[in-house]
Structures are given as C-alpha cells and as structure tokens.
Structure 1
Amino acid sequence: MKTIIFATAIRILTPLFLLFSIYILFRGHNHPGGGFIGGLIGSITFVFHVLAHGSQRTAKEYFSLKLYRYEKLPAQGQFNYFKRFINHKFFNREIKGEPWGYYLIRLRPSFVMGTGLVMAAGSGMVGLFKGDPFMTGYWLDAKVPVIGSVGTPLLFDMGVYQLVLGMVLKIIFTMSRD
C-alpha cells in the first residue's frame, strides 16, 4: 500500500498524531484517558508510517540518532571547531585532512518497553519508600503551566505509554521484517 497520496498524507499527519497522543497522555492525568490510549494512538502513527514507507525507513527516521564526532580538536580553539562542524554538517563541504565521522545509535523497542516498565513500577514504589501502600499517589506542590499538577500518577501513565508504544513497535517491526 505504498502510494504517493498515502505516503504524503502520512508525512503530514505523523506529527499531528504524535502531538494528539501526547495530549491524550497529559489529559488522562485529570480525566479519562492517559497512558494506554495515548500509547495506542502513538503506535498507530508508526503503524501507518511503516505501511507507507517500510520499517527500515521508519526506524531510521524516528528511532536512530546520529552523533557526529571529530577525531581531534583543532589547535585554533573551540570556535574554529564549531565553524568547521557547521560547514561540514549543514553546507556539506568536505574539509581536507579532517576526519569527520558519526556514531549511529538506534533506539530499540525492547528498550522503550523496559524503560516504561521501570517508570510504571517506580511510580508505585514511591509509596512503599514513604511507608504508605503500593501505588499511593504523591504530587508536587508547584504546578506546571500546561500540564497542571505533576505527580506519581503522571509518571505511571508515562510508563504505560512507553510500554504500549514499545510493545506495538516490536510487533510491527517483527511482522514487517519479512
């Protein structure tokens, strides 16, 4: 199902779907919704992207990070290093005799699942450390302008969000591999 119309629509709708899933995640802090529904909406975003562009491109665009490296610092100082990095990265100018390279770091769905599980379980452990029952909610006194009050229920929802997102990504990447 790789048509030009579908690929263009997904390219436009992907940021909107992700923004909506984050909205549902934070809305569920005070209303129905939250981590599970937000994670499913975020997962549907990547399912559509895999259908439109393939799993290799989806993993490369959203789950890979290029870290540029420079073998040695120039003798002229840090500003010269920054100027050479800008010339190499943004203007694609090759600099003679200077070894630029990069490390490619890929975020695996299993790591996303594990991080979500640790966050969700860790939010419940706060109550145990304070001498209260497991999953007792605690909130900070200060309020964040857009989100509202921040506490352990939000941490739990964020963990569930990552757990659902990682699980669906693992399934989709595994199924689309053949």
Structure 2
Amino acid sequence: MRTIIFATAIRYLTPLFLIFSLYILLRGHNHPGGGFIGGLIGSIAFVFHVLAHGSDRTVNAYFRVKLYSKGKPDDDTPPEHMWRLLSANTWNRLPNYPQPEWRYHIVRLRPAYVMAIGLFLAASSGLLGLFQGMPFMTSWWMEAEIPIIGALGTPLLFDAGVYLLVLGMVLKMIFTMSKE
C-alpha cells in the first residue's frame, strides 16, 4: 500500500494526528479523553507512517537524533574553548583558531524507553500525594490556571504517563510486526 498519494497525505497528516493527540491528552483531566485515547491517536500517526514509508524511515525520521559536537583542543581551558567555539561559529570561523573535527553521536529513542518513562511518570504522580501524608494516588492541584489547559495537577501527570506508556507499547508492536 505504498502509493505516492498515501505517502504524501501521511506527510501532512502525521503532525495533525500528533497535535490532536496532545489536545486530547491535555483536555482529558477536565473532559472526556486523556492519556489512553491520546496515546492511541498519537500512535495512529506512526502506524500510518510505517505503512506509508516503512519502519526504518519512521525510526530515522522521528526516533533518531544526531548530536554534533566539536573536539576540544588540548591547550584550551573550558572557558577559552567555549569563547573560541562561539566566536568561530558566530564570525564564520576565525582563521587563527584550529578547527577540530566534528563528531556526532546518534541517540535513538526506543519504544521500551518511552514505556519506562511513562510508567515512571504514572507511578510518581501517585507518590506526590503520599509525600504530603495523604493516601497513594491522591490528586494534588496547583493554584494557578493556564488559560487553555486549566489547572495543572497530578491527574495530568498520570495521564501523561499513560500517554507515553500506550504510545510506547503500540510503537513496539508496530515496529516488531513490520520487521517480520
């Protein structure tokens, strides 16, 4: 089912699915919705992207980040190195500063890590009430309200954990099934 029409449509629909899933997540503590359905809607974006482009391209596009850094010359102290690096990047490379090689590290966000972060968030939202001398999973709300979202509290933290847990679980299933 890899047609050019489907691939083009998914390129535009993936960000819309993700934005809508975050909207459902954020409105879930006051209205129907929340972490579970938001996570399912967010995972639909990646399911369609895998169907349109394959799992390798989806992982490369959304779950792999290249972090670039420059090597530090041995004779510089850290403040001198930072100033020279800043000035070299700002003023188009100073000629008297030796330019070290660019190094990069690839960081991949695996679905198991997403699940672990989600489980940690959901469990830690219950511990906040416990630290205040209340029963486990007692909700705690901030006094200030954000205009569109409303009041923030531990139910939103719990929903965010469930969101990441569901998203990671569906991603793990999809990436595993697409490899076979």
| In 2, Cα distance between equivalents of 1:77 and 1:116 | 40
* Identity of matched residues, %: 63
> Superposed, which structure 2 residues align to 1:65-104 within 5 Å?
65-72=65-72, 77-83=84-90, 98-104=100-106
| In 2, Cα distance between equivalents of 1:2 and 1:108 | 25
Q: Output the amino acid matched with 1:2.
A: R
SS for the counterpart of 1:176 is helix
SS for the counterpart of 2:179 is coil
Question: Could you tell me how far 1:50 is from its partner in structure 2?
Answer: 0.4
SS for the counterpart of 2:142 is strand
Q: Which residue of 2 aligns with 1:149?
A: 151
Q: CA RMSD in A?
A: 2.0
Q: Which residue of 2 aligns with 1:26?
A: 26
Q: Output the amino acid matched with 1:135.
A: M
SS for the counterpart of 2:176 is helix
Q: Which residue of 2 aligns with 1:115?
A: 117
Q: Output the amino acid matched with 1:36.
A: F
Superposed CA deviations along residues 95-150 of structure 1, whole A, max 9, x for unmatched, are x9641121110000000000100100111111221121111110011112321100
SS for the counterpart of 1:31 is coil
Q: Which residue of 2 aligns with 1:3?
A: 3
> Superposed, which structure 2 residues align to 1:157-172 within 5 Å?
157-172=159-174
The answer to whether the aligner puts 1:17 opposite 2:10 as a matched pair is no
| In 1, Cα distance between equivalents of 2:179 and 2:103 | 29
Q: Which residue of 2 aligns with 1:40?
A: 40
TM-score using structure 1 length: 0.88
TM-score using structure 2 length: 0.87
Q: Output the amino acid matched with 2:89.
A: F
Q: Output the amino acid matched with 2:104.
A: Y
Q: 1:69 to 1:78 in 2, by over 3 A?
A: closer
- Structure 2 unaligned segments of length 5 or more: list them: none
Superposed CA deviations along residues 1-25 of structure 1, whole A, max 9, x for unmatched, are 1110000000000000000000000
Which structure's CA Rg is the greater one? 2
- 1:127 pairs with one of 116, 129, 142: 129
| In 1, Cα distance between equivalents of 2:154 and 2:171 | 26
Q: Which residue of 2 aligns with 1:92?
A: none
